[in-house]
Structure 1
Amino acid sequence: MAEPHAGERLTAAEIDEWKVQGRERRYGDGQVLMRQGDPAEHGLLLTAGRVKVVASSEDGHDVVLAYREPGEIFGELAVLDGGTHSATVYAIGPVEVWAMSPEGFLSYLQQQPRVSVALLLVMIRRLRQADTHRLRYRAQTVVQRVAERLLHLADQCGVQTREGIRLEMRLTYPELAAAVAASRESAVKAVASLRSAGALATGRDRRFVITEPDLLRRIASHGLTDPSVSG
């Protein structure tokens, strides 16, 4: 899933208008902003900090779907269709959001047609990407899927350092395995293979560092010949 386009985030003027109709809320690290399965009570605009969007699968595994940055709206689907939230949103560090009721959100969209179009484009892009991922996963090895996932996270939360691109977020093996539809053991083996290939390292703080981004991209596209992680 690619990083959101600049036009998909709200402008300063659109944020100011949202604040006129919304209410400020603050959350600490790890707190839940909205929970999967709960009815939609508000749409949220992230104005400071970063959040993690996590969905629980039928087998009980948590899958990190995305990270959201300031200027992005979330919870909008459930607000628009009157359903329940499809994922749980967690604060990463201190977070500031502005909550808007479903009625207020619909009124806001009527007043801000550009935002309505931007949200529509976001939904279309995410659906296309989900379809593409499902088709590609059938043909990819675990190593390829792990490499692709790490590249995606680098786009969202990577910081360039002397050692390479360091992921700001800690990613556990269960989270990684769930995200690439693999067992924890297979994910561990895939990471070990990427380390051996020289594409990946782990820092002292246990965060992943992509040491050779071009190599990791080639592996994501063409894979490795290690049969022990080809499942």
Structure 2
Amino acid sequence: MDHAKLAALQGPDSIFSGLSLQDWADLAGRAVQVNFIKGKELLSQGEAGDSMLILTEGSARVSMLSPHGREIVLAYAEPGAVLGEIALLDGGERTASVVATSAGVALQLGRNALRDFAASHPDFAWSLMQQLARRLRTADQTIESDRAYASGPRLARYLKRLIRQDVEATHRVELSQTELGNFAGMSREHINRQLRSWEESGVISLEQGRVRVLDTDMLEDISESEG
């Protein structure tokens, strides 16, 4: 396994950001490699969370079911993503499900393995607490911010978040309109009307039901407008 590549894939929000190559070698040595096929459920909402995954190859959809049975897409994971860490750390149930959208490989790390790693790497334990605190602050700010926006600007903000996850910078969102509606909390009909309007304005193009952002500056302006 290429530890340098795995380290480079960790974004600033990863609980493993800042680990040295030697640390990564130690961490990988405590994990089990898992191969999966497209469509495989990697983690299931509501199950006991005694392990976590570090995606090394492939992609996956992260979603949760509302109390009314509606799927809410939270994110699309690419190589480097850390999945299932919340339940692993607090001992509770999984808060979301993860389904592979392509074949791939992940490192599976158990709770005892992570505890032992943290015990032997005190700097990591402190960094982990800081990272979780930053996540909580960001989540609170995002919730409050989104509440203040009408549906159009809110959809634009979700599109911005999705294309920021696009490591190949294609600006193409691999979501159907139904999935995009679930992600943004809007009906498919509402999504369709808004996307058609933006297509006519040259902000996006619709390619086989998928969205490609053509004018990121305009999308930015829409996301910050009052609707």
Corresponding residue of 1:125? 134
Q: More deviation in 114-123 or 91-100?
A: 114-123
Give 1:69-108 correspondences, 5 Å limit. 69-108=78-117
Closer, same or farther: CA 102–158 of 1 in aligned 2, 3 Å: closer
Q: Aligned-pair distance for 1:135?
A: 1.7
Closer, same or farther: CA 195–160 of 1 in aligned 2, 3 Å: same
Contact 2:163 2:169 in 1 (8 A): no
Query: What is the TM-score of this pair, normalised by structure 2?
Result: 0.84
Contact 2:158 2:184 in 1 (8 A): yes
Partner of 2:53, secondary structure, is strand
Q: Aligned-pair distance for 1:26?
A: 0.7
Closer, same or farther: CA 48–196 of 1 in aligned 2, 3 Å: same
**What amino acid does structure 2 have at the position aligned with 1:139?**
A
The partner residue of 2:222 within 180, 204, 219 is 219
Contact 2:50 2:91 in 1 (8 A): no
Q: Aligned-pair distance for 1:11?
A: 4.7
**What amino acid does structure 2 have at the position aligned with 1:51?**
A
Corresponding residue of 1:200? 204
Moved beyond 6 Å, runs of 4+: none
> Identical aligned pairs, as a percentage?
27
Contact 2:72 2:185 in 1 (8 A): no
Deviation string, structure 1 residues 182-219 (Cα, Å, up to 9, x no partner) = 2222222221222122111112x432110000000001
Partner of 1:40, secondary structure, is coil
Corresponding residue of 2:118? 109
**What amino acid does structure 2 have at the position aligned with 1:212?**
D
Corresponding residue of 1:43? 52
Structure 1 unaligned spans of 5+ = 225-231
**What amino acid does structure 1 have at the position aligned with 2:12?**
H
Corresponding residue of 1:4? 11
CA–CA distance in structure 2, aligned partners of residues 140 and 82 of structure 1: 35
CA–CA distance in structure 1, aligned partners of residues 107 and 168 of structure 2: 27
Aligned length: 216
Contact 1:53 1:89 in 2 (8 A): yes
Contact 1:195 1:201 in 2 (8 A): yes
CA–CA distance in structure 2, aligned partners of residues 124 and 91 of structure 1: 29
Deviation string, structure 1 residues 12-39 (Cα, Å, up to 9, x no partner) = 4333212211111111112111100000
Closer, same or farther: CA 27–118 of 1 in aligned 2, 3 Å: farther
Query: What is the TM-score of this pair, normalised by structure 1?
Result: 0.83
CA–CA distance in structure 2, aligned partners of residues 113 and 36 of structure 1: 31
Closer, same or farther: CA 122–171 of 1 in aligned 2, 3 Å: farther
Q: Aligned-pair distance for 1:80?
A: 1.7
CA–CA distance in structure 1, aligned partners of residues 126 and 72 of structure 2: 28
CA–CA distance in structure 2, aligned partners of residues 72 and 159 of structure 1: 15
CA-atom RMSD, angstroms? 2.3
Corresponding residue of 1:229? none
